[in-house]
Amino acid sequence: MADVAQPKGLLGPVLFVLVIGGILVSLGVWQLHRLAWKETLIAEIATRSKAPPRPLPDPASWSRLAPSDYAYRHVELTGRYENDKEALVFFGIGPHDLGPGYLILTPFKLDAGGFVVVNRGFVPAGLPKEERAKGDIEGETRVVGLMRPPQTRNLFTPADEPDKDIFFTRDPAAVAAHFKLSPAAPFVVDADAKPVPGGWPIGGMTEIDIPNNHLNYALTWFGLAGGMLLVFANFLRARWFGK
């Protein structure tokens, strides 16, 4: 039988395994917390978006609203579209594989006062202006949709082109400033899917099915920690008992 080797020079490997293993386990635990948060968020979105529409919050309360208070709330509003102030927001891939196009953001003047930027839906990039204009809704109307917070920008978001009425985020503040709307809501309302004259724009563009891969991420981190522990155990066996 081979003599058992003395565990010399193990401090470095042990510290490495403890530090890296601790990091991997911590990442796995963090993903489990994210999983619980995401499941709660998905349930809340489903509850709010599928509830019967409620009246839009009073304009006097807009400045006090936090996105968590209203995101995906199903609401109804009455007033008139200001179709001459249409803004286009670039949208990568449209529904039904229609390719790139634009979301049509139109200011909506409320009967109660103030303006809400309504995301009426998607049109393909090549659609002529006169075809899109067939979907304009004139006069008093009722809009039903979901309240959405402003879309944030990142380092890769192109600069808006307000002189062409083209924007790259659903930012109601930018649209309101461009068209000089006051007072304007700090949120956007995504109109529900509803047939319109001419067929454009296609409404109901809110993304409801939010990906939830946090359990897979957690299992990956825990698996890496377990794999590293197994490799270290084999290393110790070879070190102490030989090959």
pLDDT in tens, 77-130: 999 999 999 999 998 776 666 778 899 999 999 998 899 999 999 998 888 888
Residue 5 in domain: no
Does one domain contain both 233 and 187? no
Give 177-195 pLDDT, tens digit per residue.
999 998 999 999 999 988 8
Does one domain contain both 225 and 154? no
Domain that holds residue 232: 11-40+213-241
Taking residues 153-165, report their average pLDDT: 87
Does one domain contain both 102 and 183? yes
Number of structural domains (the chain) is 2
Does the predicted TM-score (pTM) go above 0.85?
A: no
Does one domain contain both 193 and 219? no
Residue 150 in domain: yes
Residue 229 in domain: yes
Structure confidence at residue 94 (pLDDT): 64
Residue 55 in domain: no
Residue 62 in domain: no
Does one domain contain both 85 and 176? yes
- DSSP codes joined into one string, the chain: -PPPPP-TT-HHHHHHHHHHHHHHHHHHHHHHHHHHHHHHHHHHHHHHHHSPPEEPPPGGGGGG--HHHHTT-EEEEEEEE-GGG-EEEEESS-GGG--SEEEEEEEEEETTSSEEEEEEEEEETT--HHHHHTT---SSEEEEEEEEPPPPP-TTPPPPBGGGTEESS--HHHHHHHHT-SSEEEEEEEEPP---GGG-SB-----------HHHHHHHHHHHHHHHHHHHHHHHHHHHH--
Residue 205 in domain: no
Does one domain contain both 219 and 195? no
Structure confidence at residue 95 (pLDDT): 62
Point out the least confidently predicted range of 26-40, 116-130, 195-209: 195-209
Point out the least confidently predicted range of 148-152, 207-211, 225-229: 207-211
